[in-house]
Structure 1
Amino acid sequence: MKLVVVGATGFVAQEVIRQSLRNPNIKSVVAVSRKPATPPTGLDASKLKSVGLKDYDEYSDEVKNELAGADGCIWTVAITPSKSKDFTFDEVKRVCYTSTLVGLNVLRGAGVGRPFRFIYMSGIAAERDQSKTPPFMPEYCLMRGETENRVLAFAAEHSSEGFEACVAKPGLITQDAASIARAEELKKTMGVPSVTVEEVSAAMLQQVLCGIEKEPLMNEDLVRIGRKTLEEGA
């Protein structure tokens, strides 16, 4: 498999890349980001190609050529709820919504494999039903939900070309002791579930490699699939 990881310098994407380099079924990893993707230490990075771009809604012909022939993509680009307050909503929407749709069209235009599996990493609070008013950051959550809708609609429209899509909807993603402690508190006070960065990465990789089990992949699915995948690979 030739895998594209978009948003390659983010902490989830970095774990996806680390696991990809260790997986013999993945022959090539194209790491797309605005800054150069640093190869994980201690791993053979010979199958990793770092591809830089000015922004996620601007693709040069050189970048498009690197995407050609890909069999799957894990898309991690977003401005998170906690960071969204630092930007105008128009900018948040451009990054989260517009860039995703531009990226899908670029991948299709570049010429990809059949099947081509696109895993879009969203969040548990994203609301697809645009008639609802989410209690938490409604404008943001509706926008992320509409992005999910458009990703799935794109795949359905181009299913005859082999496009498949799935949305991963994790809760809080933990990475260290501090984030685990915060996750435990949020679960007690607000019922927010969590998944480790290793689990969510393993689950998305398993789905892009082996086929989409269900859509969407909720937090409990990501934990279940991720843990099983990690145990089998241990």
Structure 2
Amino acid sequence: MKVIVAGSTGLVGSTLVRQCIASDSVSHVWALSRRPLPDAVGDSPKVDVLLHDDYATYPPELLADLAGAEACLWAIGGRATQFPDAATYEKVQVDYALAAAKAFLAALVPHLPEGKLFRFVFCSGKFAEWDQTKPLHFMADTRRIKGKAEQGLCEIADADTTKRFEVYCARPSGILPADAGFASRLSGKLYGAIGVDHLAKGLIHIAVEGSKDRIIENEQLLAL
């Protein structure tokens, strides 16, 4: 499978690129990034690094470079507290993801071989909430905005009359970096934290195999 990784320099995205290189199921990776990747990754014969500044737009020349992609692993976002305000967070978390999904559906899906599907795998977060009016007592902005992104992506897939564009939303709890210490791993067990390599392998598995569920909760990710 040929895949796009969006957010290739973040914790999850950079791990996705490395795990794609290691995976026998992935034959090629287009790594969308605002800056060059480390040589050890970017020099892999499996990887094409495409420098892209504006994730709200996908010009024809970029889409031409992505021709043949069968999946997108979307790892752009994070938590609302990592951004200057909720409006900026919503732009990055919702607007960018929906713009990419619409562009890939319109430009990439029609050129896939007959019978091939395109899977958009969105790395969301535990407790994402679709109901934008529901009172939330913790991480309200993060949960609502991730839920809004999930809902928008699913609506795009539902409106696809060809039924060749699938959306999956993975909801990890806390994510542990590969070098997390003993204390972090121990405390992580209290809230079901998942190791970033485990998460990346799970997202790739969903891209390759699909899933019976559109929303994949943390417990399901841990079981992959």
TM-score after normalising by structure 2 = 0.89
Equivalence for 1:109: 106
Q: Residues 6 and 77 of structure 1 are in contact (CA less than 8 Å); yes or no, is this contact kept in structure 2?
A: yes
Q: 3-state SS of the aligned residue for 2:212? A: coil
Q: Residues 157 and 163 of structure 2 are in contact (CA less than 8 Å); yes or no, is this contact kept in structure 1?
A: no
- Amino acid in the other structure paired with 1:91: T
Equivalence for 1:92: 89
Equivalence for 2:48: 49
Distance 1:153 1:186, change over 3 A: same
Residue correspondence of structure 1 range 157-176 to structure 2 within 5 A: 157-158=159-160, 160-176=162-178
Is the counterpart of residue 60 in structure 1 residue 35 in structure 2?
no
TM-score after normalising by structure 1 = 0.85
Distance 1:159 1:175, change over 3 A: farther
Equivalence for 1:21: 21
Write out per-residue CA displacement over residues 141-172 of structure 1, whole angstroms, 9 at most, x where no aligned residue.
21211111111111111152401111000000
Equivalence for 1:151: 153
How many angstroms does 1:123 deviate by? 0.5
How far, CA to CA, are the matches of 1:176 and 1:205 in structure 2?
17
Q: 3-state SS of the aligned residue for 1:160? A: coil
Write out per-residue CA displacement over residues 66-93 of structure 1, whole angstroms, 9 at most, x where no aligned residue.
2222101100111424413xx1221111
Distance 1:79 1:175, change over 3 A: closer
* Backbone CA RMSD of aligned residues: 2.1
Q: Residues 174 and 180 of structure 1 are in contact (CA less than 8 Å); yes or no, is this contact kept in structure 2?
A: no
Q: Residues 207 and 213 of structure 1 are in contact (CA less than 8 Å); yes or no, is this contact kept in structure 2?
A: no
How far, CA to CA, are the matches of 1:30 and 1:161 in structure 2?
24
Q: Could you tell which deviates more after superposition, 69-78 or 102-111?
A: 102-111
How far, CA to CA, are the matches of 1:118 and 1:179 in structure 2?
32
How far, CA to CA, are the matches of 1:180 and 1:166 in structure 2?
32
Q: Residues 53 and 60 of structure 1 are in contact (CA less than 8 Å); yes or no, is this contact kept in structure 2?
A: no
Equivalence for 1:203: 202
How far, CA to CA, are the matches of 1:180 and 1:148 in structure 2?
33
Write out per-residue CA displacement over residues 99-153 of structure 1, whole angstroms, 9 at most, x where no aligned residue.
1111111112322333011100010031122342121132332121111111111
* Identity value in percent: 26
Equivalence for 2:142: 140
Q: 3-state SS of the aligned residue for 1:151? A: helix
Is the counterpart of residue 223 in structure 1 residue 219 in structure 2?
no
Equivalence for 1:214: 213
- Amino acid in the other structure paired with 1:9: T
Mark the runs of 5 or more structure 2 residues left unpaired by the alignment: none
How many angstroms does 1:216 deviate by? 1.2
Is the counterpart of residue 30 in structure 1 residue 27 in structure 2?
no
- Amino acid in the other structure paired with 1:168: A
Q: Of the two structures, which has the highest relative contact order with CA contacts closer than 8 Å and spacing of 6 or more?
A: 2
Aligned length: 219
Residue correspondence of structure 1 range 115-134 to structure 2 within 5 A: 115-134=117-136
Mark the runs of 5 or more structure 1 residues left unpaired by the alignment: 226-234
